[in-house]
């Protein structure tokens, strides 16, 4: 036992609340921490019920919001020089920050993949911040290491990966896609090159046992520089921007990404990729991988994963599936068939902070073979001395681009236990049903049109309001091709400023559409109907500003 000083707070008496700094002594600090916790929780609930469920967001434009937040200077001021009591900080949050959020709890917020986080996810985040584990080296987060292993096992089981598979949690889909393509470069491209040098077919690169039989190491020397020239990776025009971004960061030359046009429902098909890679191979280029998407951010489209897996297997290509959003459909026994064949991928991105209803941030990368991650990312710093040489604990830094990482697993662990797979799946089904309701409303209305028409694949619906009906829309596009695009942008901005709902806009086939990406389990058919009614109410003013001729 360490001797306690006569005044445990003596070193902190310069602060108005020393008991919130010198928290090591229960007798002097616990009561103050309990009061702070109660006040913080009260502030959180005041935000939720006074602001979060009241409106989608504030009416201010960006310029107005900057002036409101920063004042006359229009920019950040100096850092605070002197301490401020916690109560004043919470009061400032309530007055200055809480009213001006995008509120994922509002039932009309149906745009970005920002769900209302589950209560146990928030609690898990709170506990994780208190215990403050660094999930990099085992000794810095002992049980946290096991919780992440457990959660990743659940995710691997969910997508259908078997023994030997592995996962690692990331900040989100962009990081997971970057890491996946690093594995493609350092593991699969190296194997393709080594297989070719040994006279083995490209398909051998997908099977380490075939490589070994041909005298090729499972992990050959990694390619760099000129060894990346002439490589081709295939993705659709609906692939997430992080795929191209990752290739740039990883040193692949311009032209590496071969964008293949999606079909009428924005899906990448096997026959189109097969045609593209045949043309590239004939030109002396080296097909390397296919990056599919299961639930595109833009349209919710699900690429034909089974077809793409057939093409990849036939030509020795790595198949990565970005299922950051859509992978959660596997939580539902009813809707799992909407994202088929994920288990055939070599690697999968999945983002629990989207459709698992988790607080930011938590993404993940899953791979069929654990060692592929370790070989790609393992570097051994001299200061990570691990103690007993007879033990071999898991060190997560060996499997990730990131070093020190937050204890992201705890919130997913807690909320998955709280709801179970079946409960999480029920929430996914509610969103799919809500998207179906929106699509049905659009189909039944002459002044609305969806792209693509028909039932959505998941819970994204892209549509637009066409004042005067669809026939007039066609006439407007013929006479003034940009008029409906201007109108759609103005209408979306008016809806969002109204507080009645929140949608985004996107460009599809050269035209502007409203986009509803529904991951809000607090929404309802009635809330969707309110959003549509608000669009119609705001339409005339937006049409006038856009210069549309009167109906």
Per-residue pLDDT at 4: 65
Alpha helices in 136-288 (DSSP H): 142-159, 173-183, 190-197, 208-213, 241-249, 270-282
Q: Which residues contact 263 (CB under 8 A, 6 or more apart)?
A: 269, 272
d(CA 137, CA 400) in angstroms, rounded, equals 12
Helix or strand or coil: residue 427?
A: helix
Token output for 382: 């001299």
| Residue-wise pLDDT tens digits, 9-28 | 999 999 999 999 999 999 99
Q: Name the residue among 512, 509, 493 with its Cα closest to residue 501.
A: 493
Per-residue pLDDT at 481: 84
Least confidently predicted of 354-358, 389-393, 497-501? 389-393
**Would you give the DSSP letter of residue 350?**
E
Q: Which residues contact 409 (CB under 8 A, 6 or more apart)?
A: 135, 144, 147, 148, 150, 151, 152, 169, 362
Per-residue pLDDT at 95: 96
| Residue-wise pLDDT tens digits, 156-194 | 999 999 999 999 999 999 999 999 999 999 999 999 999
Instruction: Give the residues across from 407 on adjacent strands.
Output: none
Helix or strand or coil: residue 426?
A: helix
Three-point CA angle 116, 117, 120, nearest 5°: 145
Query: Chain centroid to CA 121: how far?
Result: 16
Neighbours of 363 (CB within 10 A): 25
Helix or strand or coil: residue 109?
A: strand
Domains of the chain, earliest start first: 133-378+390-406 (3.40.640.10), 417-546 (3.90.1150.170)
| Residue-wise pLDDT tens digits, 501-514 | 999 999 999 999 99
Model confidence at 386, in pLDDT bands (50, 70, 90)?
low
Per-residue pLDDT at 3: 64
- Determine whether 511 is exposed, middle or buried from the number of CB atoms within 10 Å of its CB (0-12, 13-18, 19+): middle
Q: Is the CB of residue 366 less than 8 Å from the CB of residue 161?
A: yes
Q: Name the residue among 410, 360, 413, 397 with its Cα closest to residue 128.
A: 410
Higher pLDDT, 6 or 89: 89
Q: What is the mean pLDDT of residues 243-256?
A: 97
Q: Name the residue among 324, 321, 364 with its Cα closest to residue 234.
A: 321
Per-residue pLDDT at 2: 62
Per-residue pLDDT at 385: 64
d(CA 44, CA 40) in angstroms, rounded, equals 6
Token output for 474: 């066609």
Per-residue pLDDT at 477: 84
Token output for 78: 């100096």
Q: Name the residue among 223, 233, 221 with its Cα closest to residue 315.
A: 233
| Residue-wise pLDDT tens digits, 398-423 | 999 998 899 999 999 999 999 999 99
Q: Which residues contact 287 (CB under 8 A, 6 or more apart)?
A: 232, 234, 277, 280, 281, 315, 317
What is the DSSP pairing of strand 363-367 with strand 347-350? antiparallel
d(CA 57, CA 502) in angstroms, rounded, equals 8
| Residue-wise pLDDT tens digits, 346-381 | 999 999 999 999 999 999 999 999 999 999 998 877
Helix or strand or coil: residue 141?
A: coil
Kindly tell me if the per-residue pLDDT of 388 is higher than 80: no
Q: Is the CB of residue 168 less than 8 Å from the CB of residue 281?
A: no
| Residue-wise pLDDT tens digits, 190-219 | 999 999 999 999 999 999 999 999 999 999
Per-residue pLDDT at 1: 54
Kindly tell me if the per-residue pLDDT of 550 is higher than 70: no
Model confidence at 480, in pLDDT bands (50, 70, 90)?
confident
Per-residue pLDDT at 479: 85
Per-residue pLDDT at 389: 65
Model confidence at 155, in pLDDT bands (50, 70, 90)?
very high
CA distances from 256 to 117, 185, 220, 247, 287 (A): 38, 12, 22, 8, 9
d(CA 500, CA 55) in angstroms, rounded, equals 6
d(CA 167, CA 367) in angstroms, rounded, equals 6
| Residue-wise pLDDT tens digits, 431-475 | 999 999 999 999 999 999 999 999 999 999 999 999 989 988 888
Kindly tell me if the per-residue pLDDT of 384 is higher than 90: no
Model confidence at 98, in pLDDT bands (50, 70, 90)?
very high
Mean pLDDT of the chain: 95
């Amino acid at each position: 036992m360490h001797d306690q000083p006569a005044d445990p707070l003596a070193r902190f008496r310069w602060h108005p609340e020393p008991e919130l700094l010198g928290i090591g002594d229960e007798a002097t600090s616990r009561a103050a921490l309990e009061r702070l916790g109660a006040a913080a929780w009260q502030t959180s609930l005041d935000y939720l019920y006074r602001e979060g469920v009241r409106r989608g967001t504030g009416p201010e434009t960006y310029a107005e919001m900057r002036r409101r937040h920063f004042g006359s200077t229009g920019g950040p001021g100096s850092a605070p020089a002197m301490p401020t009591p916690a109560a004043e900080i919470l009061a400032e949050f309530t007055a200055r920050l809480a009213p001006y959020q995008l509120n994922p709890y509002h039932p009309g917020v149906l745009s970005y993949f920002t769900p209302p986080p589950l209560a146990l996810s928030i609690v898990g985040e709170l506990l994780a911040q208190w215990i403050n584990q660094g999930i990099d080296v085992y000794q810095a987060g002992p049980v946290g290491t096991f919780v992440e292993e457990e959660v990743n096992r659940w995710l691997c089981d969910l997508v259908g990966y078997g023994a030997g598979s592995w996962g690692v949690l990331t900040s989100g889909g962009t990081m997971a896609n970057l890491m996946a393509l690093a594995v493609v470069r350092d593991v699969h491209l190296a194997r393709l090159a080594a297989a070719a040098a040994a006279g083995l077919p490209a398909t051998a690169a997908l099977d380490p046992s075939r490589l070994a039989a041909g005298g090729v190491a499972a992990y050959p020397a990694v390619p760099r520089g000129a060894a990346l020239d002439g490589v081709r990776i295939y993705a659709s025009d609906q692939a997430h921007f992080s795929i191209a971004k990752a290739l740039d960061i990883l040193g692949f030359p311009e032209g590496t990404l071969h964008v293949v046009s999606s079909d009428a429902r924005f899906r990448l098909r096997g026959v189109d990729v097969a045609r593209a890679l045949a043309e590239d191979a004939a030109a002396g280029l080296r097909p390397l991988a296919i990056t599919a998407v299961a639930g595109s951010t833009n349209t919710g489209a699900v690429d034909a994963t089974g077809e793409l897996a057939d093409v990849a297997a036939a030509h020795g290509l790595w198949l990565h599936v970005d299922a950051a959003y859509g992978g959660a459909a596997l939580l539902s026994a009813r809707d799992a068939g909407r994202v088929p064949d994920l288990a055939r991928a070599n690697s999968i991105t999945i983002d629990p902070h989207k459709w698992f209803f988790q607080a930011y941030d938590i993404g993940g990368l899953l791979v069929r073979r654990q060692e592929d991650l370790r070989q790609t990312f393992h570097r051994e710093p001299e200061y990570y001395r691990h103690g007993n040489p007879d033990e071999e604990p898991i060190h997560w830094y060996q499997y990730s681009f990131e070093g020190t990482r937050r204890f992201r697993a705890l919130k997913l662990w807690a909320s998955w236990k709280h709801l179970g797979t079946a409960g999480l799946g029920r929430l996914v089904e509610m969103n799919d049903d809500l998207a179906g309701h929106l699509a049905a409303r659009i189909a039944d209305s002459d002044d609305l049109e969806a792209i693509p028409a028909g039932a959505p694949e998941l819970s994204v619906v892209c549509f637009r309001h066409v004042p005067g009906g669809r026939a007039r829309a066609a006439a407007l596009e013929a006479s003034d091709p940009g008029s409906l695009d201007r109108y759609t942008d103005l209408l979306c901005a008016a809806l969002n400023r109204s507080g009645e709902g929140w949608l985004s806009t996107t460009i599809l086939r050269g035209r502007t559409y409203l986009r509803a990406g529904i991951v809000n389990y607090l929404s309802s058919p009635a809330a969707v109907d309110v959003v549509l009614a608000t669009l119609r109410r705001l339409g005339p003013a937006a049409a006038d500003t856009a210069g549309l001729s009167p109906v």
